């Protein structure tokens, strides 16, 4: 069984976290963060700012879920 990667800190830009990671896309959907091909604000924002832009009700829970997804 593969060992889970440890994530010390989140990427500076949310777009870097997405980079083909289906688990991250599921976290974004779960917390109501959506984006389109032209939505540079979300893709180039920090995860914290992206959460604020999309009025995520529980930013801390979002960040916990994002860290878990990046470890997968």
- Which pLDDT score is estimated for 1? 47
Does 24 reside within a domain? yes
Domain count, the chain: 1
Does 34 reside within a domain? yes
Does 5 reside within a domain? no
The answer, as to whether pTM is greater than 0.85, is no
Does 7 reside within a domain? no
Does 32 reside within a domain? yes
Does 28 reside within a domain? yes
pLDDT greater at residue 6 or residue 47: 47
Domain that holds residue 36: 14-71
Q: What is the pLDDT of residues 32-53, one digit of tens each?
A: 987 776 577 788 889 999 999 8
Non-local CB neighbours of 8 within 8 Å, separated by 6+ positions:
none
Non-local CB neighbours of 54 within 8 Å, separated by 6+ positions:
31, 32, 33, 34, 42
Does 57 reside within a domain? yes
């Amino acid at each position: 069984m593969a060992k889970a990667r440890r994530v010390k800190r989140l990427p500076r830009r949310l777009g870097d976290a997405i980079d083909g990671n289906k688990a991250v896309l599921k976290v974004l959907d779960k917390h109501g963060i959506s984006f389109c091909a032209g939505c540079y604000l979300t893709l180039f924002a920090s995860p914290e700012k992206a959460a604020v832009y999309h009025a995520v009700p529980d930013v801390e829970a979002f960040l916990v879920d994002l860290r878990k997804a990046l470890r997968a």
